[in-house]
Structure 1
Amino acid sequence: MTTPSAPLTAGNARVKQARKLSRRSERSERRLFLADGPKAVEAALDVEGCVVEVFATLEATQRYSEWHGCVPAWTVVEDRALASLSDSVTPAGVVAVCRFLDVPLASVLEHVEATSRVDLIAICADVRDPGNAGTVIRTADAAGADVVVLAGSSVDLYNPKTVRASVGSLFHLPVVVEPGVRTAIDAARAAGLTILAADGHGEVSLDAAADILSRPTAWLFGNEARGLAPEIATLADHRVRIPIHGRAESLNLATASALCLYASASAHRR
């Protein structure tokens, strides 16, 4: 544990260097990102070699004393310095500098196939909202999915809002960043998965898809505003709609992904 004689200020060079990771270009160049809050930090500590350094207030340093020996450097900072590293309105007092976690889809699928069957994947195509992306990751984790893919022009996986919205799930399951949506679909199909597109105008109702859902599945979720591009939706084996029984026009991405992923998870466990 690295403990200075006095907590570091917001103007300290090390704090400034960490603060630069709020910029995507800086994250990409250094392949480092910030994990804000105790849930994220605790989850990151479970991934060997992930955490580079932890910045914490004096209060958080005392509260999470059992973590000190788990990191290469534990640095105490002033409250203002911690706030400058946090994207939260009410910082929880602890932020970790972490190494990038994303891995190539092919290697993930090969590893999963070698250890167990691949049953459930979530592919986000051009999902732009960081909160939605993080929530899909969290939901996929809760549903027992094997992999999440952020494909196409999706939001940066390491955007602070994405990391925070995942509530630690980013560290629990493999997450892939794949520039090509078609590439992700092809890889999932090659691994033996049925491709299901979540589409409000799909020909199959989620309520009547029990047989399809029981198969190893890759769910394809589209952009928040535009949904799936037609040329991408046609690549799916089936387009599945969630029935709307009331007067709502549609469901948001986070809710739709939860219903679809849990429907698959339930079908796999029957």
Structure 2
Amino acid sequence: MRSERRLFLADGPKAVEGALSVPGCVVEVFATPAATEQYAGLATEAVEVPWTLVDDRALASLSDSVSPAGVVALCRHLDRPLDDLLSTPRRLVALCADVRDPGNAGTVVRCADAAGVEVVVLAGSSVDAYNPKTVRASVGSLFHVPVAVEPDAAAAVRAARAAGLTVLAADGAGEVDLFEADELLTRPTAWLFGNEAWGLPDELAALADHRVRIPIHGRAESLNLSTAAALCLYASARAQRRTLQE
């Protein structure tokens, strides 16, 4: 259903709330009577879409959660072509290449939303943006940040550079220290993040303008993807906002 009809399910009150905030996104909401009473505010927001009461068994068939919250929205896909999203000048973009874990992908989208990222790109062989775990891990942020899906990760990097963005590859062996890169971070930037297990392939990282490492002061071997993304995106957001205020 997700790929053929470009429809997906948003499971839980936060996801449904986010979906309802996007005009035309929600096709129908399914909820148990108990959830309808508990989330009466959502039912009020859904005045322009059908709100269908279902029993617990029917609701459980729509949810992959161990403990369903009792409310699920049927939604239209939100992703847009990358060229369209980059046709407007951007200051901060997140490119995720071959990110396979849906929880990680959703958490990166959530971090991007919090940091003020303007576009998130799921590139290469990344997980489906509409995987139920991705949607749930984004905690509604999937509905706040414009998302593009680009099967060719190298093409996504080239598109970012063509749009005037400095591409920074997050790389543990990078030549630039994140904490000494404020001048670099003030530029309009696209951060490039790689796979959870093997990072960025050399040929893809080579397309970036710089490779940036997060310094590790303790004995940990590395940081996980979502933590690294949060640090990098917030470092850029801090540097850019400070420059705008000066």
TM-score range, shorter chain: over 0.9
Matched, 1:49 2:21: no
Aligned residue for 1:263?
235
The superposition leaves residues 121-172 of structure 1 with CA deviations (integer Å, 9 ceiling, x where unpaired) of 0000000000000000000000000000000000001000000000000000
User: 1:182 is matched with which residue: 154, 173, 182?
Assistant: 154
- Residue 90 of structure 1 corresponds to 67
CA shift for structure 1 position 62: 1.9
Residue 170, structure 1, aligned to residue 137, structure 2: no
The Cα offsets for residues 5-35 of structure 1, whole Å up to 9 and x where unpaired, read as xxxxxxxxxxxxxxxxxxxxx2111110000
Is the contact made by 1:196 and 1:218 (CA closer than 8 Å) also made in structure 2?
yes
| Separation (CA, whole Å) in 2 of partners of 1:217 and 1:70 | 40
How many angstroms apart in 1 are the aligned matches of 2:187 and 2:127?
29
Is 1:106 aligned to residue 78 of structure 2? no
Matches within 5 A, 1:1-270: 26-68=1-43, 69-110=46-87, 112-113=88-89, 118-270=90-242
RMSD of aligned C-alpha atoms?
1.0
- Structure 2 CA distance, aligned partners of 1:85 and 1:180? 32
User: Offset at 1:186?
Assistant: 1.2
Identity rate of aligned residues, in percent? 73
1:84 CA displacement: 1.7
Cα drift, residue 78 of structure 1: 0.8
User: What code does the residue aligned with 2:58 have?
Assistant: A
Distance 1:61 1:124 in 2: 36
1: CA distance, partners of 2:120 / 2:223: 21
Q: Residues of 2 paired with 1:215 and 1:136: CA distance? A: 21
TM-score, length of structure 2 as denominator length: 0.95
Pick the structure with greater CA Rg.
Answer: 1
Instruction: For residue 190 of structure 1, report the CA deviation from its aligned partner.
Output: 1.2
Residue segments in structure 1 that go unaligned for 5+ positions in a row: 1-25
Q: Return the letter of the residue paired with 2:112.
A: A
Aligned amino acid, residue 70 of structure 2: G
In structure 2, the gaps of 5 or more residues are none
TM-score, scaled to structure 1: 0.87
Cα shift readout 1:62-109 (whole Å, capped 9, x = no counterpart): 233344443421111111211221122211110000000000011112
Contact 1:52 1:71 survives alignment (8 Å):
no
Q: Which amino acid aligns with 1:265?
A: A
SS of 2:212 mapped into structure 1: strand
Q: Distance in 2 between matches of 1:200 and 1:101?
A: 33
Letter in 2 for 1:27: R
Q: Distance in 1 between matches of 2:37 and 2:19?
A: 19
Which secondary structure state, in structure 2, belongs to the residue aligned with residue 215 of structure 1?
coil
* d(CA) in 1 for partners of 2:77, 2:92: 23
Kindly provide the CA deviation profile for residues 170-221 of structure 1, in whole angstroms up to 9, marking residues without a partner as x.
0001010001111111111111110000000001111111111111100000
